[in-house]
Amino acid sequence: MKKEYSKDILEEIGKKFPDAVVKIHAPRRTYIRIPRDKVPALAEFLFKDKGCRLSIATGIDTRDGIEILYHFSLDESGTYYNIKTIIPKDDPQIKSIAPFLPAAEWIEREIHELFGVDFIGHPNLIPLLTAETWPENLYPLRRDYANEHKDLKLKKKM
């Protein structure tokens, strides 16, 4: 198979989800930006109908809100189709894709404990990596965490 994104898949996505914005970043990586309530449907389409595999999910705190990227990989051609959503910070909720995609269970737990995003419908939303004594409502990877606890940062020893 040719090592490039497949135009048929992108056309199908354009037909099924009219409010998706497709950006072709490189011959083997495309970003599909979509509002947050359509994410489970698009993920199911990529996973079940096209046979993609969930590689990882990443999160970052930007000025517009918390942006979550799901990286789906089509293994035969070596291409990546990434789903991008932006979640507003005063209402951090999104529907979880773990009920039909068990691979997303742990990474959604990690995004929940480090960013504070609530995944609705997740079977087991408990912290994964932080210590057992870490306080509940402290989300370390948000931008305001660094500003609040700036005084607690130790000086770098040379």
Partner 1 sequence: MASAKLWGLKKSPWVFHLAAASCNNCDIEILDVLTPRWDVERFGIVLVGSPRHADALLVTGVINRKSLPRVIEVYKQTPKPCLVIGVGTCTCDNHMFDGSYNVVGPYDKYIPVDVYIPGCPPKPEAIIMGVVKALQRL
Q: Tell me how long the chain is.
A: 158
Amino acid at 147: N
Q: Chain-centre distance of CA 17, in angstroms?
A: 18
Which stretch in 92-100, 101-109, 115-123, 132-140 sits in contact with partner 1 by CB under 8 A?
Answer: 132-140
Q: Is 149 in the site for partner 1 (CB under 8 A)?
A: yes
Which stretch in 3-11, 47-55, 95-103, 123-131 sits in contact with partner 1 by CB under 8 A?
Answer: 123-131
The CB-based long-range contact list for 100-104 (8 Å cut-off, 24+ gap) reads: 100/44, 100/47, 100/48, 101/43, 101/47, 101/54, 103/53, 103/54, 104/54, 104/57, 104/70
Whichever of 103 and 128 has its CB closer to partner 1, that residue is 128
Q: Is 16 in the site for partner 1 (CB under 8 A)?
A: no
Q: Which of 44, 100, 129, 143 binds partner 1 (CB under 8 A)?
A: 129
For residue 90, CA distances in Å to 63, 87, 137, 141 come to 13, 9, 14, 16
Q: Is 145 in the site for partner 1 (CB under 8 A)?
A: yes
Which stretch in 23-31, 32-40, 83-91, 147-155 sits in contact with partner 1 by CB under 8 A?
Answer: 147-155
Q: Is 14 in the site for partner 1 (CB under 8 A)?
A: no
Residues 6+ apart with CB under 8 A from 136: none
**Which residues of the shown chain bind partner 1 in the complex (CB under 8 A)?**
129-134, 140, 145, 149, 153-154, 156-157
